[in-house]
Amino acid sequence: MREKTKLKIGEFSKMMQVTVKTLRHYEQKGLLVPDEVDEWTGYRYYSIAQMQRLGTIRGLQRQGFTLEEIKELLEEGAQMPSIDLLTQKIEETERQLQLLMERRTQLLRWMDSHKQRKRMEKFSIQSLPEIIVASHREVIADYSALGPLCVNKIGPEMQRLGCQCPPPGYCFTIEHQEEHRPTDLDIEYCEQVEEMGVDSSIIQFKRLAAVPKALCMKHVGPYERFYESFTEAFAYMEEQGYKMAGHPRTSYIDGAWNQEDPEQWLSLIQIPIE
């Protein structure tokens, strides 16, 4: 007589890809009792037939049957659930599916609502008051030249002229070129001052009229990515029915002067609209 194959619980667990903890749980439930337990060592051994039984258990679990239902089926010697039980499971699954679809719909509504709120927080409509600015217009190589220009040329000249800037400080640039250019940018730098001064070869003072309505949007990152924020801002303007009504301003809040990492630079885009 051929000797029956016996597998220790660890071997059985490994081959069947199920944890020992799960096997012990099935044993406690009376679903899969070891074929043999050594009375001296307590070792549990499983047979080839129990591989097939475990396969049946796992297959029924995947179809939503509880361990109690599976145990009842196996005790009755059934290889397949009855038509009545299958019908019951199908109806139960359809109810669960309907609940899941309703839950999905609600979650999608919440997500859309959250995105809309976040988007609205990103944009704001503000009025910009009339201000006096010290202005300097120059063609610079690219955005990276803006910082040195302010530090080495504009700043010292404003100091020489005795310019007083109201706190917390407001400076911005306006680009005057008619089309995008990666180099040779025609940029006007403006910084709010308390009063009109005497023009010099570097600084001109001017009074800027109030802007009744401007779309304001925060931009985080290097200046070379301004196009991303402008794209988003103009898409929002189109959706809301706004039109540009003047030169956009780019106000600088955090930059190379206080943040080493360009990804942390904070600017504020202000677009006059109507």
Residue 273 has pLDDT above 80, yes or no: yes
Whether residues 38 and 154 share a domain: the answer is: no
* Strand 44-46 relative to strand 36-37, pairing: antiparallel
Number of structural domains (the chain) is 3
Whether residues 114 and 144 share a domain: the answer is: no
The enclosing domain of 13 has a CATH number of: 1.10.1660.10
Q: What is the pLDDT of residues 184-239, one digit of tens each?
A: 888 888 989 999 989 999 999 999 899 999 988 888 888 888 888 888 888 888 88
Instruction: Kindly write down the DSSP assignment for every residue of 210-268, as one continuous string.
Output: PEEEEEEEEEES-GGGHHHHHHHHHHHHHHHT--B-S--EEEEEE-TTT-S-GGG-EEE
Average pLDDT, the chain: 84
Whether residues 57 and 170 share a domain: the answer is: no
Name residues whose C-beta falls within 8 Å of residue 47's C-beta, 6 or more positions apart in sequence.
4, 5, 6, 7, 35
Whether residues 135 and 247 share a domain: the answer is: yes
pLDDT at 3: 66
| 177 SS3 class | coil
CA distance 253 to 172: 9
Residue 143 has pLDDT above 80, yes or no: no
The answer as to whether 145 is a domain residue is yes
Q: What is the pLDDT of residues 28-67, one digit of tens each?
A: 888 888 888 888 888 888 888 888 888 888 888 888 888 8
CA angle 245, 248, 249 (to 5 degrees): 135
Candidates 121, 4, 25; CA nearest to 71 is: 25
Q: Which domain holds residue 89?
A: 85-123
Of the chain, the percentage scoring pLDDT greater than 70 comes to 93
Residue 108 has pLDDT above 60, yes or no: yes
The answer as to whether 1 is a domain residue is no
CA distance 237 to 215: 8
Residue 109 has pLDDT above 80, yes or no: no
Whether residues 100 and 130 share a domain: the answer is: no
The answer as to whether 206 is a domain residue is yes
Q: What is the pLDDT of residues 73-92, one digit of tens each?
A: 887 776 677 778 888 888 88
Strand-pair partners of 191: 134, 171
Confidence at 167, pLDDT banded by 50, 70, 90: confident
Whether residues 113 and 199 share a domain: the answer is: no
Whether residues 142 and 267 share a domain: the answer is: yes
Residue 256 has pLDDT above 70, yes or no: yes
The answer as to whether 65 is a domain residue is yes
Residue 16 has pLDDT above 70, yes or no: yes
HSE of 43 in the Cβ direction (CA atoms, 13 Å)? 11
CA distance 228 to 117: 20
Average pLDDT over residues 91-103: 86
The answer as to whether 2 is a domain residue is no
Of the chain, the end-to-end C-alpha distance in Å amounts to 96
Residue 117 has pLDDT above 70, yes or no: no
Instruction: Match 């049957």 to its residue by tokens.
Output: 65
Whether residues 98 and 166 share a domain: the answer is: no
pLDDT at 112: 66
pLDDT at 227: 82
Whether residues 256 and 204 share a domain: the answer is: yes
Confidence at 120, pLDDT banded by 50, 70, 90: very low
Can you list the pairs that 171-177 forms with residues at least 24 positions away whose Cβ atoms lie under 8 Å?
A: 171/251, 171/252, 172/249, 172/250, 172/251, 172/252, 172/270, 173/146, 173/249, 173/250, 173/252, 174/247, 174/248, 174/249, 174/250, 175/247, 175/248, 175/250, 176/137, 176/247
Mean pLDDT lowest among 118-132, 145-159, 191-205 = 118-132
Whether residues 136 and 252 share a domain: the answer is: yes
CA angle 121, 125, 127 (to 5 degrees): 140
Strand-pair partners of 273: 244
Average pLDDT over residues 90-101: 86
Whether residues 114 and 171 share a domain: the answer is: no
CA distance 254 to 268: 10
